[in-house]
Structure 1
C-alpha cells in the first residue's frame, strides 16, 4: 500500500554508469531529490551533466546502476532491479512526456494525435476523442482540434503535445527542453500552462531546460554538474 502523502517522485542516491574499467563513465554519482504533487521543478546543467539520464530513469526508460526510485510512494526500482514487470503500462498510466520538438504524427489531426494515446490505453474511439477535445479546449487550443501539425504554429503544436502528455491523467510529467524552440512569449505561455496543470491536477512536473527565460516559473531549480547536484 502506498503512502498518499509521499512525494510523487523520490529519487534516492541514484547512480548510473556506462561501461567498465578504463572506459567507464559515471553519468550520475549519487543523486537524491523529491518532487511533490503540485510542484514544478527545473533541472539545469551543462551538456553531459546527467540531466537526460535523470529524466530517463524517472521515466522508467533507463535502469539505474544503484539507488532507489519511488513513484507516487511505490518502489519502482531498488536493490539493483526493477520492482515492476509492466514498465510500459506504468509509463502509460503514470507518466506524461513532453519533448523539445512536439513529435506529433503529421498525418493525424490535433484531436487524433491526443486520442491515439487513449486508444493505446484501451479507451473506445468515442471516449478517446471526447477526452482529446476536452484537453485541447482546456489548453486553449480547441479551435485547432481539426488542424494537422503542419498547420499549427510552434506554440500551438507544443500545446497539443502537452494535451497528449495529459491524455491518461498522469501524476508525473517529464519535459525535455519544452520551450527551446519557442520565442519568449510562447515559452512563458507554455510554462504557465504547465504550472496550471501542476496545481489543478496535482501533478509533479520536472523540466530539463537551458532556457533562462523561464527560470522564474519554477518552484525550485536543481543544478547538475558532473553527475552531482550542486
Structure 2
C-alpha cells in the first residue's frame, strides 16, 4: 500500500488582471509521503500560498488532480461531488503566519475547537488539548485568552490546534514569519518535533532558508514551475 498522503498531478492555476492572464502554476507535480517534511521557497508573489491553498482544498486549480490520503479517501478531488470539508477535517491541519485564534476562547478551548467540530467527546478533547499544550510548554497558559499571550505563545497554540485531530499532513504558510529569529527557531523546533512524534507530514512555505534547510526536501516555486532544490 502506498504511504503517500498527498499527490498533486499537473496542477495549473492562472488569474486575470485586467486584459492580462497571469500564470501562477503550470503543471506542478508534488508527492508527499507520511512523515515527510517539505519546504517550499520562492519570491513573494510567486504563488507559494496559492499552491498551499490548492493542496489544502481551500482553492481550486484550473486543471490537474489532487489525491489525498489512502484507502477510501484515495480519490481524485474534482470541483463537485467530494466532501472537501470532511477530508480537511480528517486529514489536514493548517498553520498560518497569523495565528487566527478565537479571541473569546482560552488557549485550551482554541486548541480543542477542531476536535469538537469533528464530534469528539468534550472531556477527551480537553485532555488531548492539555497534553499538546504541555508538550509545547504552555500548561501554565492554558486558561489565558489569546490577547494575554505573547506572539510566540499564540503561534504555539495555533500549532497545537493544527495537531489536535492528529492530521496526516499539516500545511504551514510562513508559520514563524511574524516572530523574531530566536522565537522562530524555538517554535519551529517544537513544531517539527511534535509533528515527528505523531508521524505527521509537513509542507511549509517559508522565506527562511535556514529553517527550510532543516526539512527533508526543499522545492522552489519560480516562473510558475516547482523544482526540487538540493539540500
Q: Common fold, TM-score beyond 0.5?
A: yes
SS in structure 1 opposite 2:98? coil
Q: Do 1:8 and 1:37's aligned partners in 2 also have CA atoms closer than 8 Å?
A: yes
Partner of 1:72: 69
The 10-residue stretch of structure 1 (82-91 or 139-148) with the greater mean CA deviation from structure 2: 82-91
Deviations 1:145-179 (A, max 9, x none): 11111111111111110010011111110011111
Counterpart of 2:53 in structure 1 is 56
Q: Given that residues 76 and 82 in structure 1 are in contact (C-alpha distance below 8 angstroms), is that contact kept between their aligned partners in structure 2? A: no
TM-superposed CA distance for 1:72, in Å, is: 2.1
- Runs of 4+ displaced beyond 6 Å: none
Pick aligned residue for 1:113 from 101, 107, 110: 110
| 1:13 has 2:10 as partner | yes
Q: How does 1:95-114 map to 2 (within 5 A)?
A: 95-114=92-111
Tell me the SS of whatever aligns to 2:213: helix
Aligned length: 224
TM-aligned CA deviation for residue 84 of structure 1: 5.3
Which residue in the other structure is 1:204 paired with?
A: 201
Deviation at 1:62, TM superposition (A): 1.1
Gaps of 5+ in 1: none
Gaps of 5+ in 2: none
Q: Corresponding residue for 2:226?
A: 229
Counterpart-to-counterpart distance in 2, 1:21 and 1:15: 20
CA distance in 2 between counterparts of 1:204 and 1:53 reads 19
Output the TM-score relative to the length of structure 2: 0.90
What's the TM-score once normalised by structure 1's chain length?
A: 0.90
| Residue in 1 that maps onto 2:167 | 170
Partner in structure 1 of residue 85 of structure 2: 88
Question: What SS does the corresponding residue of 2:75 show, helix, strand or coil?
Answer: strand
**Of the candidates 25, 31, 34, which is equivalent to residue 31 of structure 2?**
34
2-side partners of 1:198 and 1:179: how far apart? 16
SS state of the match for residue 199, structure 1? helix
How far residue 195 of structure 1 moved from its aligned partner, in angstroms, is 2.0
Give the deviation of 1:185 after TM superposition. 1.6
Q: Deviations 1:112-136 (Å, cap 9, x if unpaired)?
A: 1111222111123222211211111
Per-residue displacement from partner, 1:8-62 (whole Å, max 9, x unpaired)?
1211111112349943221110111212112211111112211111101110111
